[in-house]
Amino acid sequence: ATNPKEAEAGTIRADFASSIDANAVHGSDSAASAEREVAYFFNDNEICPRG
């Protein structure tokens, strides 16, 4: 995880996160994690196909 205090000024993380735990953004560590995490937050009809 990126510490917002170490993030580049003007980035979403630097501007809106208050700590590593209370963060404004998230990036998955792998495609498998991303698939699981996206399914947790969104229904199939909320996801637009890409590519």
- Domain map (residue ranges) of the chain: 1-51
Structure tokens at 6: 């170490």
pLDDT tens column, 4-36:
999 999 999 899 999 988 887 888 999 999 999
Average of per-residue pLDDT across 36-46: 94
Query: Would you say 41 and 49 are in contact if contact means Cβ atoms under 8 Å apart?
Result: no
pLDDT band for position 49 (50/70/90)? confident
pLDDT given at position 27: 83
pLDDT band for position 1 (50/70/90)? low
Tokens 């792998």 found at = 30
Residue numbers annotated as active site: 26
